[in-house]
Amino acid sequence: MAVGGAVKTPPNGPPPANPQSSPNLVSFDPKAVVPSQALYLQRNDTIGFFITTNQTGCWVRINYRWLTPDGEIKEGQLDTGVFSGFIFKTITLFEGWLLSFAAQQFVIGPAGSWAFLQAQIYRGAAEITLGDPDGIIWQGYVPGYISNGWPGTPSKEIGDGPGVLRSITGTVPGAGADISEVVPSQRRWTLLGLKATLTTSAFVTNRIVRVLLDDGANAFYLVGSSVAQVASTVINYTFTPGIPFYNDLNGSMALPIPSPTQLKSPFRIKTNTLTLNATDQWTAPQYLVAEWGTWDL
């Protein structure tokens, strides 16, 4: 990596204290150059790739092409290796024009897996720190099986697009405990539906099932069934956006949730059952969400 270039020197400011050790091989009058899609990079420019993912054991491969000052087209490949959460990797071209890059998940995760990539430019080795780029080239989701990249595919924000559909099996609560599902870190959900079953013990009292949504501490939505569940019964409950309460009289009830129900980390989806007995038992909830990444931690 070439070092010693001027770091963020203002256009009309003082000359750099440490000029480049050698001149560029390409020189031109910028006023006479027509802008093009290809990106010209100097010797003290670095390309950084920031990738965040919703899966454990993600692996992204990035293939790239550039044009040297001698007119030769070269290819390179960057492998992230296995990572979870997020990762930051860099490449340098020494000098030339970046022509393209294509990224794809090298190891395909389970259904609903995604990785979001942001390509950045850094000026000078001292400036290669996460979150301090000099420019953004492209950003977008990298799905499994197919490639995405620059140029060709429009750049997308992390919250753009239809999201990824995920069917999630939640956690079985302990006996006498309510359901509590937490939106994972750096996720944004639209809850499309949730189903769970409550089996009540022989303890004689009426249970009133309620669905509660909170931001991790403060509840912002709470609605309950208008029909009680009695002792020694099994009822299937469905929480669905935009529908009224419904009891089919055959062991199933539907409770309304907001339409749309939009959640982010650390929001929670909970049941809040009145007079729940210590021996009553909820099953693991099964729910469907549309998921995006988010920069919120």
CATH of the domain at 219: 2.60.120
Residue at 21 is within a domain: no
**pLDDT higher than 70, residue 1:** no
What does the mean pLDDT of the chain come to? 86
Question: Residue 37: what pLDDT?
Answer: 57
Per-residue pLDDT tens for 85-139? 889 999 988 888 899 999 998 887 777 888 999 999 988 664 566 667 888 899 9
Residue 20 forms part of a structural domain: no
Given a cut of 90, is residue 140 above it in pLDDT?
yes
Same domain, 168 and 145: no
Q: Is residue 125 part of a domain?
A: yes
The answer on 134 and 52 residing in a single domain is yes
**169 and 287 assigned to the same domain:** yes
Domain contains 15: no
In the block, which residue shows the tokens 């309460």?
Answer: 245
- What is the C-alpha separation between 3 and 82, in angstroms, rounded? 29
Last residue of a domain, one of 104, 120, 150: 150
Whether 45 and 76 share a structural domain: yes
Q: Tokens standing for 122?
A: 């850094």
Q: How far apart are CA 132 and CA 97, in angstroms?
A: 22
Last-in-domain residue among 108, 124, 150: 150
Domain that holds residue 122: 30-150
Query: 134 with 203, same domain?
Result: no
Predicted local distance difference test score (pLDDT) of residue 158: 86
The reported pTM is 0.74
Mean pLDDT of 39-65: 90
What DSSP line would sit under the chain, residue for residue?
------SS--TTSPPPSS--SS--S----GGGPPP-SSEEE-TTEEEEEEEEESSSSBEEEEEEEEE-TTS-EEEEEEE--SBSSEEEEEE--SSEEEEEEEEEEEE--STT--EEEEEEEEESGGG--TT--SEEEEEEEE-SSS-EEETTSPP--TT-SS-EEEEEE-PPPPTT---EEEPPTTEEEEEEEEEEEEE--S--S-BB-EEEEESSSSEEEEEE-SS-B-TT-EEEEEEEET---EE-SSSEEEEEE-SSEEEETT-EEEE--BT--TT-EEPPPEEEEEEEE-S--
For residue 198, which of 187, 189, 209, 188 has the smallest C-alpha distance? 209
Instruction: Note whether residue 126 is domain-resident.
Output: yes
pLDDT of residue 156: 87
- Asked which of 150, 178, 209 is the last residue of a domain, the reply is 150
- Between 23 and 41, whose confidence is greater? 41
The average pLDDT across 207-211 equals 97
Q: Which pLDDT belongs to residue 11?
A: 44
91 in a structural domain: yes
Average pLDDT over residues 66-92: 90
Question: Taking residues 266-286, what's their average pLDDT?
Answer: 97
Domain count, the chain: 2
Whether residues 102 and 215 share a domain: the answer is no
Provide the pLDDT for residue 126: 47
Residue 11 located in a structural domain: no
Residues 288 and 172 in one domain: yes
